[in-house]
Structure formats: C-alpha cells, structure tokens
Amino acid sequence: MESEQVQKILNGNILAAAKLIRDIENEKPNISVVLEDLRPHAGKAFTVGVTGAAGSGKSTLLGRLVRYFRSNRNMTVGVVAVDPTSPLTGGAFLGDRLRIQG
C-alpha cells in the first residue's frame, strides 16, 4: 500500500516532492520505505551527473540538456543540483530556476 505522500508525488504535487527531498537530506528514519514505494514508478528514468569547476558551464549544459529532452524527446525532466562544498553543511541542495529552464 503506497503512502499518501507517494500518491501526492505521483499526482504531481511539487510540495510533497520537496518535502521528500527535505526528509532525505535530514535522514528521516524509515525514509527508505517511501523511496521503495516510488521505485516501481520510475519507468525508464535515468541519471546524468555533471561536475566541474565554478564557471565551467555546468548550468548552461544542464539548461540545454533539459531543453533537448523536453522538446525533442517529449520527456519530463527533474534537476537536483547539489553543492558538495557548502561550508555550512558539507553539502547542500541548490535551486537555480533562473539559469536552468526548459
């Protein structure tokens, strides 16, 4: 039986997805149960990793990849950006909506 949170995410509820990311980042107990409920719905999803020095064009590359997959392949795209060098936490999720748009 899937949780209410999983159903909300599957229905496109962005707030529920944001809360899931927060719970993962905060290492909430039993979060793996929610992730396992989501796994069968991933379909043919894949992961692309992009890394490089500051100013090397990562955001530009991601923006073009998002545009390509959405326009040419009619795919839904999600970007999770992480800064592993954050001096505050040792790693931080980033939200860069202005530069990465599809």
Q: What is the pLDDT of residues 7-37, one digit of tens each?
A: 999 999 989 988 888 888 888 998 889 999 9
Domain enclosing residue 52, as ranges: 46-102
26 and 51 fall within a common domain: no
Last residue of a domain, one of 12, 29, 45: 45
Q: How many domains does the chain have?
A: 2
Residue 5: how many CB atoms within 10 A of its CB? 17
Beta strands in the chain (DSSP E): 81-83, 92-94
Quick: pLDDT tens for 62-84.
Answer: 889 999 999 998 888 887 777 66
- pLDDT at 93 exceeding the cut of 80: no
Go through 56-82 and write b for each residue having 16 or more CB atoms within 10 A of its CB, e for each that does not: eebbeebbebbeeeeeeeeeeeebeee
- Is pTM beyond 0.85? Reply is no
CA–CA separation, 48 and 51 (whole Å): 10
99 and 76 fall within a common domain: yes
